[in-house]
Chains A and B, each alone.
Chain A
Amino acid sequence: MNNEIIKKEKLEEIARQTRIKVVQMIGKSGFGHIGGSMSIVELLTVLYFCEMNIDPKNFQWEDRDRFVLSKGHSCLSLYAILTQKGYFSEEILSTLDTVDSILQCHPDMKICPGIDMSTGALGQGISAAVGIALGAKLKGKNFRTYSIVGDGESAEGQVWEAAMCASKFKLDNLVAIIDYNKLTLSGKTCEVMPLEPFCDKWDSFGWHVIQIEDGHSFTQIIDALNEAKNVKKKPTAIIAHTIKGRGISFYENQVKSHAVTMTVEQVERALQELHYPQNEIEVTLTQMKEGN
């Protein structure tokens, strides 16, 4: 029990640091997809710090678990997680979106350590994840493949082609986590393109479906991933109910939080809400002003 509490506190700290780094990155670069990055922070934290069998020092290890961020635009929180795992140094975060940076606006597997697939055009990452999981079966490898798919992204027909395909090949080594934050770039998913009955859709495509009411609860995420490990002969879809912009009051559940530019005042307020020390905030703000 005690261990679990410590673990939970540690995970909470990683998630908090991740959100701080995302805000700092946007403060420095001037632009970023904050909403969808914030809604997947806990999912990424559990994947990278509890679930996946990976070795940052040997990031091309052939037996590692794989991760594909199908909603590639939400990579800010992934970059922040990768630096905390030691894939690259924290200073590199400040180079985001500059032409020679390994941190492009959408993940580039050719230049960024820890990225297993280049993504950015929605609907495509999940197919690559299916290919990786299928390849693992063909090669008799035991590693698992995880992919986070957006809810808005699920309007892409290719997502359902991939869903059929994963089911056909009985890919029980594949877990798709759907970031169900209910918002897209332009509005509510229920208005832009209704997804419901969403769980039934995945179920009818032959997937084992686990719905988690709170996609920011470490316990619920861990339990769902554990359940997925016991599923045989079918892939698992975890429908995670999340909050877009989670962690920053003025971005939470806001359509406008999809992609933002942040003023110095907004960065300060966001970092204060994330309990970042005021003296450190001042350093961030100074760098931001110098950058501009």
Chain B
Amino acid sequence: MLDKIAPRVALGNTLTKLAKKDSNILVLDADLASSIKIEGFKKALPKQFLEMGIAEQNMIGVAAGLSTLGFIPFVSSFAVFASRRVCDQVVTSVAYPNLNVKIIGAYVGLFVGMNGATHQSLEDVAIMRSIPNMVVVEPVDELETEEVVKFAVNYNGPMYLRIGRDVMFSIVSSDYKFQLGKSVTIKDGSDITIISCGAIFDEVLSAALLLEKEGISARIINMSSIKPIDEDAIIKAAKETCKIVTVENHNIIGGLGSAVAEVLSEKYPVKLKRIGIGDIFGKSGTNKEMKKKFKLDASGILEQIRDFLKNNFN
């Protein structure tokens, strides 16, 4: 079933609801409130909304300063600017002093409207994952976004929230509670495990259904907590299904696939296939065009999994 609203909208709604009860919750915006759909917060709580202009580096530093007084600043920008543009500010002014700043990277991976390669964040997870003290989470749907935002407000420390632009199918169950470092098995299976998260997840589920028709039982794991990652679930899947595939809306270097590979190679080596964007830049176009070009629609994912099985297990 399709969600009613996109993760970015759920983010704004949830933050507004929580900030009405807690005046320490602030939103810092870099002139993108209308795109990130956080205007509702601005209208409802103008004193807790700080427009910082198109000056992301300063925005991170100001958030760091605010956090030292007990505020919980959520800085909001497109993921490209919230990660690579402010990388040193995040490292030195936020992560090194371990300050309570939440960084919202919205418009993630390839799916950035029609904005093309300059606005596609294919490196943000790699950047954020390698910074000490930083936690990296990418919720999959409306409900998980709400849960992750609630968690972020109560979690004391730096956090990167990778928030999707478009409406998703409802993935997590209605009684779902987000736990840092824990994944959720959305569908059990015995032949292969597919680990994914975020805006690509509905294509993964469709691919799994197609695999099922071919007699291949796929376990599907939603790994929204990319750092810390759920090592136990990865090792269990390796033991029980012997084959792992990761699907990510990110460069296959440094993202979810790499995080899973690190666990497997150290703890329980099995064959792994990383599906994602293969170290190339994106293009302008619709999500549908993008998924097709980069083989990230259900049929593209299916084709890559078939090749993986054929080349390694026949």
Residues on A lying within 8 angstroms of B by beta carbon are 62, 68, 108-110, 116-121, 123-136, 138-139, 141, 157-158, 161-162, 164-165, 168
User: Residue B69 at the A interface, CB < 8 A?
Assistant: yes
Q: Are A117 and B68 in contact (CB under 8 A)?
A: yes
The contact of A131 among B57, B63, B91, by CB within 8 Å, is B63
Q: Are B57 and A139 in contact (CB under 8 A)?
A: no
Number of interface residues of B (CB under 8 A): 27
Q: Are A130 and B71 in contact (CB under 8 A)?
A: no
Q: Are A121 and B88 in contact (CB under 8 A)?
A: yes
Residues on B lying within 8 angstroms of A by beta carbon are 26, 47, 50, 52-53, 55, 57-58, 60-69, 71, 88-89, 91-93, 96-98
For A107, give the chain B residue with the smallest CB separation: B97
The contact of A139 among B63, B69, B96, B97, by CB within 8 Å, is B69
Chain A residues with CB under 8 Å of B97's CB are 108-110, 117-118
Tell me the smallest distance from the CB of A218 to a CB of chain B, in Å. Answer: 29
Q: Are A164 and B66 in contact (CB under 8 A)?
A: no
Q: Are B71 and A124 in contact (CB under 8 A)?
A: no
Add 16 more A-B contacts to A128-B61, A128-B93 (CB < 8 A).
A117-B65, A118-B93, A121-B92, A124-B57, A124-B61, A127-B57, A127-B61, A127-B89, A128-B62, A128-B64, A131-B63, A131-B64, A134-B62, A135-B65, A136-B69, A161-B57
**Known contacts A110-B98, A127-B93: does B47 contact A117 (CB below 8 Å)?**
no
For A145, give the chain B residue with the smallest CB separation: B65
For B86, give the chain A residue with the smallest CB separation: A158
Interface of A is mostly: helix
Tell me the smallest distance from the CB of B90 to a CB of chain A, in Å. Answer: 10
- Looking at B50, B61, B67, B88, the one whose CB has the most chain A CB atoms below 10 A away is B61
Q: Are B92 and A120 in contact (CB under 8 A)?
A: yes
CA distance A130 to B55 in the complex (A): 13
**Known contacts A158-B61, A162-B61: does B53 contact A132 (CB below 8 Å)?**
no
CA distance A242 to B270 in the complex (A): 64
The contact of A164 among B50, B55, B67, B98, by CB within 8 Å, is B55
CA distance A284 to B112 in the complex (A): 62
For B57, give the chain A residue with the smallest CB separation: A158
Q: Are B55 and A165 in contact (CB under 8 A)?
A: yes
Query: 3 closest A-B pairs (Cβ-Cβ)?
Result: A131-B65, A127-B61, A161-B58
CA distance A162 to B58 in the complex (A): 6
CA distance A164 to B58 in the complex (A): 10
Tell me the smallest distance from the CB of A196 to a CB of chain B, in Å. Answer: 23
Q: Are B58 and A127 in contact (CB under 8 A)?
A: yes
